[in-house]
Amino acid sequence: MEERKIAGIYIRVSTEDQAREGFSLGEQEEKLRQLCNYKEYEVYKVYCDAGISAKDMEHRPKFQEMLKDMRDGKINYIVAYKLDRVTRSVRDLEELITQLEKYNTYLVCDRDDVNTSTANGRFFVRMLTVLSQLEIEIVSERTKFGMVGAIKSGHIPGIKPLGYKNDSTRKTIIDPTTAPIIKRVFDLYLQGKTYLQIAKIFNGEKILNKKWRDTYIEKIINNKIYMGDWEQYKAIGKKEGLEPIIYMNVVEPIVPRYIWEECQAQKIINQRTYTRTRVYTFFQKIKCPHCGKIMKCKGAGGKKKRYIYYNCEKCHENFRESYIEEEFKRIVGQLLRFDNEYNELFLPLFADKEIRIDKSDIEKEIIKLTKQKERIKKAYMSEIVELDDFKEDLKMINDKLDILSKQLERKQELNNKNNFTPEKVMAKRDIQRIFMKNGSDVSLFLDEWKAMPKENKQEFIAKYIESLTFEKNKDYPHGIHLIDIKLKALFNEKVDRLSELGLSQVPVEFISNDKSVILNVSYPLKESQVKEYMKEFKDIKGVKIHIHPTFNYSFEDMPNEIIFDLDKNEKILKLIPIIKDIDNPENISNKFKLGIVTSTIKTI
């Protein structure tokens, strides 16, 4: 008796396949039923996987059902339109052929003339699958190569994070209306604000008229794209077991790399949040002088008088906060002055290192938002939108326009490069100091510190200071002495920027006329720079520079005793080592002239 030929028809189509080659399910079924009729196969069932890829067999429910029916003896032929409808994997094909042989079942594919009932047929099937697998891998490699190239040229896939948008070529660029919000998130975080606190601030100000959550702020802080990098497989990496791939410097950064990295270090401090009834000015900043661990905050006292201490439980060392602050005043004035001068005077010099957005792009965005504003006004007047929706949309647009207007104003100010040469800025700083109370000291900034609320003091310290170490010493007021201060990368980066332009100056102790004096010594300047610097004083009587006529001082052996032959009313503002006008002074003699800038102006 002839064996019955019972067929299971398998049809499959993915969206891509149908769009590319028109393999509709209906057409496949019709042709395969005609094939079964011609070969006298009895059709047991049609198994249909719609919109499913052939990458593997495991995730195709109807295919798995068909294999079960094969194992149960319900079918002994599998009929498909093409081999790639069944599988595109060499490994899966080998497994399938093994299963077919085990259960005396055969595979027949109409378009590929496949029939595994013969040895030649099984060999031919394997060859077809190898070629199909090769095609998949080649296409995959081309796709990956194309994607990598696109990413490296700034075309980031997926939805753009806040602060970025697509240009006309789909390239990821900075969105001038929202990038300042991202910068502010990072600034607030560096000041010691937690994710939740930042979210509350933004909700209170109704920023972008959206609901801000701490989890969203956390995602911003953790997103590498804001320093210019893009992380592939970040979202699905853990689920799929994929190692993340980092593409560095593929988009314009919104925050400098050192700021992003500083925020990652700040996490440890910010995450130690507790419910506190007191504000600790030096929270998480005081190190034990013995073991080096961060000292804990302690509060004592009643309603009338309270004391705050920093305590090391291991070494039983403690310092009162009021004493710490008195000792800290020795340096806080200089830090505040530096911060003030950097923001007011020096920042324009580093405009190229800030977010780079063309003035024309800002103007285009303003025009676009203005038109959008007119459209929603007309929609409201025409009663197309409700009043509440109109108010929300209008506020969001006005907020963005306000951000853009400030950026445009800043751009117009910075475009006047003549006002922001290093020499002019340095002279402007020194002129301010000449007319400052008590000359160049920091008493005004100490007054500012005294008037600050404790919350603001804590934020300033969190921004610039990594740690402070004090020790007990009876020779100092209140019996403590600051022995070590570690500044954050943010502060050091600003100092490095100034040093690159010759704007930094350091206090140096000299012996003059048998007396110890502390004088500010600037970084070495070229002769031409000194001339430009002194031009700024031409309308200010009483400021002049004394220059030794020859290059007879050495950087390696600078004297610590200098005789200053000055007039009675002359006061030294600073010393300037002056080098020759050569692009690379390291290639010539290490000698310099010494310029002594003096003033006879009486300070206010």
Rounded-to-integer distance, Cα 91 and Cα 399, Å: 58
Rounded-to-integer distance, Cα 254 and Cα 474, Å: 49
Angle at 216 between CA 215 and CA 218, to 5 degrees: 65
Tokens (6 digits) for 342: 């950097």
Phi/psi at 160 (5° precision): -80, 135
Q: Is the pTM of this model over 0.85?
A: no
Beta pairing partners, 522: 505
Question: Which regions in the chain score pLDDT beneath 50?
Answer: 1, 18-22, 273-275, 352, 417-418, 438-440, 585, 587, 604
Domains and CATH numbers, the chain: 6-147 (3.40.50.1390), 153-273 (3.90.1750.20), 287-498 (no CATH), 504-604 (no CATH)
The torsion region of residue 552 among left (phi > 0), alpha (psi -120 to 50) and beta comes to: alpha
Report pLDDT for 134. 64
Pairing of strands 77-80, 230-232: unpaired
Distance of CA 190 to the CA centre of its chain: 13
Rounded-to-integer distance, Cα 415 and Cα 434, Å: 28
Task: Give the residue carrying structure tokens 């502060």.
Answer: 491
Three-state secondary-structure class, residue 362: helix
Task: Give the residue carrying structure tokens 């198994």.
Answer: 47
Angle at 129 between CA 124 and CA 134, to 5 degrees: 130
Report pLDDT for 355. 53
Helix H or strand E encompassing 126: helix 119-152
Which amino acid is located at 208 in the chain?
A: L
Report pLDDT for 201. 92
DSSP string across 488-513? -HHHHHHHHHHHHTT--EEEEEEEET
Report pLDDT for 394. 79
Helix H or strand E encompassing 467: strand 465-472
List 14, 89, 440, 512, catalytic entry: 14
Helix H or strand E encompassing 129: helix 119-152
Report pLDDT for 20. 45
Rounded-to-integer distance, Cα 280 and Cα 274, Å: 12
Angle between helices 257-270 and 214-222 (to 10 degrees): 140
Rounded-to-integer distance, Cα 431 and Cα 543, Å: 9
Active site residue 14: yes
Task: Give the residue carrying structure tokens 């390291």.
Answer: 586
- Evaluate whether 62 touches 49 at the Cβ level (below 8 Å): yes
Rounded-to-integer distance, Cα 177 and Cα 186, Å: 16
